Amino acid sequence: MMKKATLLFLIVSLSILPAMSPATAATKKEAVDAVVIASFGTSYPEALKAILTIDKEMRKEFPKAEIKHAFTSNIIRGIWHDRADDAAWKKANPGVPGWLYDVKGPLATFGALQEEGKKRVVVQTTHVYAGEEYLDLKAYVDAIAGIDTLRAKWKPFSYMTLGRPALGKAGLHPEYRNDIEAAAKTMAADVKKAKKMGAVLVYMGHGNEVFPTSAYIEFQKTMNSMYPEVTTLVGTVEGYPGLDDVTTALKHIKTKKVFMKPFMVVAGDHARNDMAGDEDDAWKTVIEKMRIKVTCELKGLGENPEWAKLYAEHAVDAVTVHTGK
């Protein structure tokens, strides 16, 4: 009888442990010392709204953490560093945040955090999909996170983890298809505008010539399934699908109007020149020669608060997965 009572006590005790022991997502967020928002960057002040919107959403999720930015582009960092000593430029652009003039790359940012004594760090990429640049950033994060020392207290960071791109990454938890669907849900306003115009919605992404870009095709398929009232096409500046694929589809559809936006976090050089420029090879020019009216909107994905929130949510997921091990 005593053994049965003891066994029953153990079963009841174990059954309530899962409800008591794991820390909540909120508790884990509070344990984060710093969040690094890692972007390619932009040299256009008017395109900064996208990065600053992501910053705003990140601060909502991590109110107690230090938020830092890192630009992966050496060229763009150099432009901002040169502007630091340009008094005339600063006077003409008073709304630019001061941190931009000293913006660092990921490794230098990690070093600055170490100097500040930050031990628990989340790095959140603003990449659209898990391509070449994301993998390069992941290599940096993995290298720093993998540094081990004889005494644990001398490790640069107690943990450093990386949040996935907007359209997800390969893996089971969560499946990237769920991320693509979540991203498509944030585009309802674009669909509404295209429908009002009676236009095909065209997105121009960056792409990559040496890396598979099938995520764009899956995003296009999801958009057309989710919003059947408007046809959505996605093309890229580099790689597949390209402008030729977009124009071939437009010929087949026989549309008279196109509403075009950059499928990039910021509306920078590619959006202003490759998409909406006046050069013969600009997307707008090429499509207009097909006798199609083109309306361009120079707003990056990050300017959409719902899209920006995806990155903040992915940063929270990265903390929860890491600290939940």
In angstroms, the CA 296 to CA 271 distance is 9
Instruction: Tell me if 66 is assigned to a ligand binding site.
Output: no
Asked if 290 and 194 touch (Cβ cutoff 8 Å), the reply is: no
Asked if 161 and 319 touch (Cβ cutoff 8 Å), the reply is: yes
Burial of 200 (0-12, 13-18, 19+ CB in 10 A): buried
34-39 vs 159-163, strand pairing mode = unpaired
Instruction: Tell me if 270 is assigned to a ligand binding site.
Output: yes
What residues pair up with 161 in beta bridges, in sequence order? 122
Instruction: Tell me if 238 is assigned to a ligand binding site.
Output: yes
∠138-155-120 over CA atoms, to 5°?
Answer: 60
Q: Active site includes 81? A: no
Asked if 207 and 240 touch (Cβ cutoff 8 Å), the reply is: yes
Q: Which amino acid is at 120?
A: R
In the set 206, 252, 314, 322, the catalytic residue is 206
Q: Is the alpha carbon torsion for 251, 278, 209, 137 positive or negative? A: negative
Query: How crowded is the C-beta side of 173, counted as CA atoms within 13 Å?
Result: 5
In angstroms, the CA 153 to CA 116 distance is 15
Q: Is the peptide bond before 241 cis (omega within 30 degrees of 0)?
A: yes
In angstroms, the CA 158 to CA 141 distance is 13
Determine the angle formed by the axes of helices 305-323 and 48-61, rounding to 10 degrees.
40
Asked if 278 and 28 touch (Cβ cutoff 8 Å), the reply is: no
Kindly list the catalytic residues.
Answer: 206
Annotated binding site for Co(2+): 206, 238, 270
Annotated binding site: 206, 238, 270
